[in-house]
């Protein structure tokens, strides 16, 4: 008479299949999460630039400190400054570094707002784009009136 042994548990093959499936799902999820993170960084940086431009205009219109305010746009940072022109050595400059995934390209380097009217010293477009995919971008338009639009 032959005895049948009952075995409990999982075989090595079953365990490897499950580990393989989990690995594939994890890889897909992490790739999607990284892409989502970069897109979020682009949106956040574009919003930060728009907010700084609007803040500079509002402070100028309110004559805070009796000064003009402006924003300087570099490839990897934006700088909020006081005065009629950008001076990199001024200690009151507020520098905001862009995300390591994002760069800026602009037809204008600095925007200063006029007291009383709020008009901008320069008008044009500022493009913020992902380094990994330059087709993914946000475009900010600064109008002569000082208004800022984000697309």
Q: What is the 3-state secondary structure (H, E, C) of 109-137?
A: CEEEECCCCCCECCCEEEEEEECCCCCCE
Model confidence band, residue 3 (pLDDT cutoffs 50, 70, 90)? low
What's the chain's average pLDDT? 93
Residue 140 burial class via C-beta count within 10 angstroms: exposed 0-12, middle 13-18, buried 19 and up: buried
- What is the model's pLDDT at position 9? 75
The Cα 142–Cα 147 span in angstroms is: 6
Q: Give yes or no for residue 1 having a pLDDT over 70.
A: no
Tell me the pLDDT tens digit for each residue of 43-76.
Answer: 999 999 999 999 999 999 999 999 999 999 999 9
Task: Indicate the pTM of the whole model.
Answer: 0.80
CATH number of 15-150: 3.55.40.10
Tell me the pLDDT tens digit for each residue of 93-145.
Answer: 999 999 999 999 999 999 999 999 999 999 999 999 999 999 999 999 999 99
- What is the model's pLDDT at position 8? 74
Q: Where exactly are the structural domains of the chain?
A: 15-150
């Amino acid at each position: 008479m032959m005895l049948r042994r009952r075995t409990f548990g999982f075989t090595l093959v079953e365990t490897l299949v499950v580990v393989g499936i989990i690995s594939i799902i994890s890889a897909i999820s992490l790739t999607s999460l990284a892409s989502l993170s970069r897109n979020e960084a682009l949106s956040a940086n574009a919003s930060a630039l728009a907010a700084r431009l609007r803040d500079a205009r509002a402070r100028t219109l309110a004559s805070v400190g009796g000064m003009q305010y402006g924003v300087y746009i570099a490839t990897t940072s934006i700088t909020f400054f006081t005065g009629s022109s950008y001076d990199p050595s001024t200690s009151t400059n507020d520098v905001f570094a862009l995300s390591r995934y994002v760069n800026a390209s602009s037809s204008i380097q600095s925007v200063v707002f006029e007291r009383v009217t709020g008009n901008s010293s320069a008008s044009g477009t500022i493009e913020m784009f992902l380094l990994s995919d330059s087709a993914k971008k946000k475009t900010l338009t600064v109008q002569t009136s000082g208004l800022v639009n984000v697309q």
